[in-house]
Amino acid sequence: MTQDFRIPDSVATVTRPRGSIGQGIDHPSAFPIALPEFVLEAYSDPGDLVFEPFCCSGTTMLAAKRPGRIARSVEIAPEYVDAPIKRFQKNFPAVPITLAATGQTFAKLADERLESDNADL
């Protein structure tokens, strides 16, 4: 029996990013979008759900969107939550970003946090 798909080469060559990942957007563990994109295209189909349990800089989330996968990402470290969202919005400005639990947009949550921070001053 033969398989109906081609297994990709075992070595992927990608260029490592240097510096920040966008104006005002930074994260210490950013890696090239081409790396998870290579894996996602090889082992998933358009429309498949991709779970990113450690969102970090959102690289896998961006890699999933490019070839038509659906990404669901989680980030537990509050100091790193905004970076992947800003990065995603920069690349896909027409796609709404919402908090699953409440349906609030990222912009609304950011405004509420800013108001709360200002009230604490």
Domain boundaries, the chain: 34-95
DSSP letter for each residue of the chain: ---SSPPPPS----PPP-S-SBTTB--TT---THHHHHHHHHH--TT-EEEESS-TT-HHHHHHHTTT-EEEE----GGGTHHHHHHHHHH-TTS--B-TTT--BHHHHHHHHHHHHHHH-
Confidence grade of residue 25 (pLDDT, cut at 50, 70, 90): low
**pLDDT (tens digit, 9 = 90+) per residue, 56-81?**
888 899 999 988 999 998 888 877 78
Whole-prediction pTM: 0.69
